[in-house]
Amino acid sequence: MSTAAAADAPDDAPAPPPVPVTAFERRFGHPPGLFILVFTELWERFSYYGMRGLLKLYMANYLFVTIRQTLQGKAYDGHGDPALVKGWAFIHRLLGDPDMAHLKECIETKAAALVKGDPEHKIAGVAADVAHDIAVQTCQANEHGSVLYGWYTGLVYLTPLLGGYIADKYLGQRKTVVVGGAIMAIGHFVMAFENSFFLALALLIIGNGAFKPNISTQVGNLYAPGDHRRDRAFSIFYVGINLGAFICNFVCGTLAAAWGWHYGFAAAGVGMTFGLVLYLVAGNRYLADDELTKRKARQAADEKAGKRLEAAHAAVREESRPFTKEEWSRIWALCGLCALNVVFWAVYEQQGNTMETWADESTTWPVIFGYAIPATWFQSVNPFFIFTLTPLFTWLWKRQERVGKEPTSVAKMAIGSIILGLSFIVMIWGAMVVGGGKGSWLWPVSCTLLLTVGELYLSPIGLSLVTKASPPRIVSLMMGMWFLSSFFGNVLCGYIGKLYTRWPKWEFFGLLCVLGVVTGLAIWAFNKPLKKTLGAAA
């Protein structure tokens, strides 16, 4: 993000003011608007990741089965009817039911665990026939939930293209953020009513599309071109994102385990509402005018000065200029990287999909002061490692740069994908040790530690590369294509996740390992030609 913001500044930008002009800025080094945006985004991410941490387990263990877990992770002690969920009959027909032969191992393992029970967590065993019925339903629902999880998280990355367009063309960033935040808050509260599940997902997807692309761009608007504080501002903003992702599962996940699923979803709605109220109350006073407002002001000034027609002709000439051969080479090189990036995200996003299922069904979580840690807390592990590892790798790359040994951007992306793949060796080993029972929480947490290293090598580096290598007049379009790779990757994540219920677990994690490593090797194979094509940007 910070690189993208810096790239927007023209070469002849005026020098930044040497000293902040307000007492607040003298004390904190940044305008108050930055902290308003940080806390608004923190609460939005709190709501998104809090809901996402519950989503797959909710579908598999409650919504799409008739014998339900009324409390997340506890006994199957409730009854319901998935047919009452509006739209489920249509979606179910599209998904179809898996061949029961493919689910044999899943059903046998699940049924055996239900018969055995979990005395440590005070969950009694159930009769064999009831256990088999629950196992059949949850194994089928796991496949359906995996696909729906993939489509939901994928569309979350697709709709910001439309949200950005609406803000640029019609509403402006600030109004679009308010509209998006309000729609998301409504969606979270609607999620608390199980029959309106698909309506809630639609509202969240639409609201996120309006909110997400327009909140971060306002950070850059707070600083004059060339202001050296802009990079640090985006770093602070990124901390807010991960802080929201870190704390949400302790609240939403705990409520779902102690009081019920709908309390967890409602808590996500409260978080989004809190962020929206903060934005509305303080935003008008401390945030900068958005780009649409500035553009209209410039157009009015140009028209008043008689320069509008001349400026329009100049803009048309620039936009209609054909791309050079070098520019086309860069465009195609970035397209190739984005295509490979699809596989990276398909593997990476398993942490909220099949890895969360493993955390719920195959992991023994510690009991602290008589309280069993919910499986949903697992979703806070990744943002925690981002907090702790980012300064380490920033220091490492600076040191490598000083001695002339820092890898190129493309090489870093290759390393990241390879590390992502290798992280699942931990889960292959864990699956062999655990078998059909439950094992240590260190298996998924250790895998996530390595997975996060891979993320830090690829995700922020890829964003930076797009801003550096894209032709300036289509940098936003190319950034949209980068996020489009996340859309396809998340959808693919859902379909790959279906294999979790069909294959032995060590084979499934072996597939993820191979996909990550092969993708990294493919990126590495293009390192030299891409470096030649992209030049210093690579």
196-238: per-residue pLDDT in tens? 999 999 999 999 999 988 887 788 788 887 777 876 788 788 8
| pLDDT of residue 388 exceeding 50 | yes
Q: Which residues are within 8 A (CB) of 417 and not within 5 positions of it... i.e. 6 or more apart?
A: 340, 343, 344, 454, 458, 516, 517, 519, 520, 523
Token pair of 70 as six digits: 């009324």
Average pLDDT over residues 68-76: 96
Q: Which residues are within 8 A (CB) of 18 and not within 5 positions of it... i.e. 6 or more apart?
A: none
Give the whole-number percent of the chain exceeding pLDDT 70: 91
Rounded to 5 degrees, what are φ and ψ at 45?
A: -70, -35
| pLDDT of residue 3 exceeding 60 | no
From CA 186, how far away is CA 182, in angstroms rounded?
6
Q: Which residue has the tokens 């109350």?
A: 281
Token pair of 355 as six digits: 């890895």
Average pLDDT over residues 133-155: 97
What sign does the CA torsion over 373, 375, 379, 385 have?
Answer: positive
Question: What pairing do the DSSP bridges indicate for beta strands 367-368 and 67-69?
Answer: unpaired
Q: What is the pLDDT of residue 320?
A: 63
Question: pTM of this prediction?
Answer: 0.88
Contact 415, 520 (CB under 8 A): yes
- Longest Cα pair distance anywhere in the chain, in angstroms? 84
Contact 455, 416 (CB under 8 A): yes
Token pair of 426 as six digits: 């931990």
Give Cα 149 to chain centroid, integer Å.
12
| pLDDT of residue 17 exceeding 60 | no
Nearest partner of 170 among 301, 293, 303, judged by Cα: 293
Nearest partner of 269 among 222, 325, 200, judged by Cα: 200
Q: What is the pLDDT of residue 231?
A: 67
Comparison of pLDDT for 30 and 200, the residue scoring more: 200
In total, the chain counts a number of residues equal to: 538
Q: What is the pLDDT of residue 236?
A: 84
Average pLDDT over residues 354-373: 92
Q: Which residue has the tokens 């396809």?
A: 488
Q: Which residues are within 8 A (CB) of 231 and not within 5 positions of it... i.e. 6 or more apart?
A: 2, 3, 5, 6
- Amino acid at position 65, single letter: V
